[in-house]
């Protein structure tokens, strides 16, 4: 039974967060600290998850992902109301009547530090419970229900291109210089976020242009998936405006921007510094893997990234642990915090890992590519290798 229940953990945190953050002053701050601590300590002290479970009812594993869309919308709209400048009494009355959440009291009692914490929580949750499962669902290209939920989950972070560029671009170009989601050795995390975000949207438009051109369709039409994606995000933005006014709308846009940035930090860590010879197949060695329990459960096994890139058609519960693949020093979410707040420590830790990767995993051709990458990295440990 536990093998099913564990994938509902993110849904539990969402429900718990929706209620806990409305209790009293400082409750959003306490919740953010506790949630972050659970992730980091869980990754540090729990044994790695090396299990390959079989599921008699795999359809149940989609349920928490579907629920996340509605729960995230509630959390976002509650935050927009509390931090906004519009008195949408119809919404606060509905929350009190149906969910027993007093948003008016929450708005009156919230402190400045709570506002920061609330934005951080919502942004983190959009990334963890929205973008990551959205990524999972939009790989299922022939399943309309999954594509529906996946694209709406991605719209929460204004990231419609992820369903296009990631699926049709990144998976083909991973670890090549042209891939916007592969970080170079020594690259600044902050510049990477900016570069990757812009380039992914440009590449998404190029992919759609080529697809529509082959069909003799107008790129500036509703058959363009990029345009449809922007319209989804605009719809959510308008709803936020109707509930929270201008301040509420900009609160949502700020959360969406932070959530998108968090996704790029995950991208940054997943393939950091890895290289591949052009026209050679993607192998498990071209991703940093992780089997840390807490990150794996909360991120629907995207941590088993080596298997995901080798066989992207597999569903998250079908991915192998690949214990012999290149491994991250810590769990995904722990690495996310380190990359954002302690970039020098991140580069130092990963420099050691890259030296090991060059020696153990790289082909002769990849060693030559890595040699040049090390020289240009600006990291003393890598530069001194040659």
Q: How far is CA 380 from CA 87, 329, 369, in A?
A: 56, 20, 18
Residue 1 has pLDDT above 70, yes or no: no
Residue 331 has pLDDT above 90, yes or no: no
Residue 340 has pLDDT above 70, yes or no: yes
Q: What is the largest CA-CA distance in the chain?
A: 68
Confidence of residue 144 (pLDDT cuts 50, 70, 90): very high
Q: Are 61 and 67 in contact (CB under 8 A)?
A: no
pLDDT of amino acid 48: 79
Using CA atoms, how far apart are residues 258 and 254, in angstroms rounded to an integer?
6
Q: Are 254 and 83 in contact (CB under 8 A)?
A: no
Please give the share of the chain, as a percent, with pLDDT higher than 70: 99
pLDDT of amino acid 323: 87
pLDDT of amino acid 29: 96
Q: Determine the average pLDDT of the residues in 338-356.
A: 95
Q: Are 292 and 310 in contact (CB under 8 A)?
A: no
Residue 365 has pLDDT above 70, yes or no: yes
Model pLDDT for residues 149-185, shown as the tens digit of each residue: 999 999 999 999 999 999 999 999 999 999 999 999 9
Cα 160–chain centre separation? 13
Q: How many distinct structural domains can be found in the chain?
A: 1
The owner of tokens 């009293």 is: 24
Output phi, psi for 296, to 5 deg: -65, -45
Output phi, psi for 327, to 5 deg: -110, 140
Q: Are 28 and 110 in contact (CB under 8 A)?
A: yes
Secondary-structure percent of the chain, ordered helix, strand, coil, rounded to 5: 70, 0, 30
Confidence of residue 4 (pLDDT cuts 50, 70, 90): confident
Q: Determine the average pLDDT of the residues in 350-372.
A: 95
Q: Determine the average pLDDT of the residues in 7-23.
A: 94
By CB atoms closer than 10 A (0-12, 13-18, 19+), residue 183 is buried
Using CA atoms, how far apart are residues 229 and 198, in angstroms rounded to an integer?
16
Q: Are 265 and 346 in contact (CB under 8 A)?
A: no
Helix (H, G, I), strand (E, B) or coil at 327: strand
Q: Are 167 and 313 in contact (CB under 8 A)?
A: no
pLDDT of amino acid 262: 94
Q: At a CB cut-off of 8 Å and minimum separation 6, what does 211 contact?
A: none
User: Quick one: which of 185, 107, 202 has its CA closest to 371?
Assistant: 185
Residue 244 has pLDDT above 90, yes or no: yes
The owner of tokens 């306490």 is: 30
pTM exceeds 0.75 for this model: yes
Using CA atoms, how far apart are residues 109 and 22, in angstroms rounded to an integer?
9
Confidence of residue 44 (pLDDT cuts 50, 70, 90): confident
Helix (H, G, I), strand (E, B) or coil at 355: helix
Kindly report the average pLDDT of the chain as a whole number. Answer: 93
Confidence of residue 52 (pLDDT cuts 50, 70, 90): confident
Q: What is the dihedral of CA 375, 380, 384, 386, to 10 degrees?
A: -10
Range of the domain at 279: 2-383
Confidence of residue 386 (pLDDT cuts 50, 70, 90): low
pLDDT of amino acid 50: 76
């Amino acid at each position: 039974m536990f093998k099913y229940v564990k994938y509902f953990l993110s849904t539990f945190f969402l429900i718990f967060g929706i209620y806990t953050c409305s209790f009293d002053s400082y409750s959003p701050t306490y919740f953010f600290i506790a949630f972050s601590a659970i992730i980091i300590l869980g990754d540090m002290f729990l044994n790695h998850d090396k299990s390959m479970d079989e599921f008699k009812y795999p359809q149940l594993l989609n349920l928490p992902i579907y629920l996340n869309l509605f729960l995230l919308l509630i959390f976002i709209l509650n935050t927009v109301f509390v931090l906004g400048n519009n008195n949408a009494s119809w919404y606060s009355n509905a929350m009190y009547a149906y969910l027993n959440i007093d948003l008016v009291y929450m708005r009156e009692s919230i402190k400045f530090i709570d506002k920061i914490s609330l934005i951080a929580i919502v942004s983190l949750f959009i990334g963890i419970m929205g973008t990551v499962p959205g990524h999972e669902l939009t790989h299922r290209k022939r399943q309309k229900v999954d594509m529906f939920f996946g694209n709406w989950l991605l719209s929460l972070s204004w990231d419609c291109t992820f369903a296009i560029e990631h699926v049709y671009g990144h998976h083909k170009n991973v670890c090549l210089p042209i891939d916007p989601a592969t970080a170079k050795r020594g690259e600044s995390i902050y510049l990477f976020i900016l570069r990757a975000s812009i380039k992914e949207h440009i590449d998404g438009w190029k992919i759609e242009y080529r697809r529509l051109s082959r069909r003799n369709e107008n790129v500036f039409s509703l058959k363009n998936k990029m345009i449809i994606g922007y319209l989804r995000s605009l719809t959510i933005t308008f709803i936020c405006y109707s509930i929270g006014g201008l301040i509420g709308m900009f609160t949502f846009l700020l959360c969406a921007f932070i959530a998108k940035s968090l996704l790029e930090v995950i991208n940054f860590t997943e393939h950091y510094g890895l290289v591949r010879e052009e026209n050679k197949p993607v192998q498990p060695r071209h991703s940093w893997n992780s089997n840390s329990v807490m990150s794996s459960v909360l991120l629907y096994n995207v941590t088993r990234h080596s298997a995901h890139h080798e066989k992207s058609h597999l569903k998250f519960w079908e991915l192998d642990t690949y214990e012999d693949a290149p491994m991250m020093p810590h769990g995904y979410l722990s690495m996310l915090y380190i990359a954002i707040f302690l970039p020098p420590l991140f580069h130092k830790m990963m420099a050691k890992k890259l030296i090991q990767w060059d020696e153990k995993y790289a082909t002769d051709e990849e060693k030559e590519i890595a040699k040049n990458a090390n020289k240009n990295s600006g990291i003393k440990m890598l530069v001194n290798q040659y």
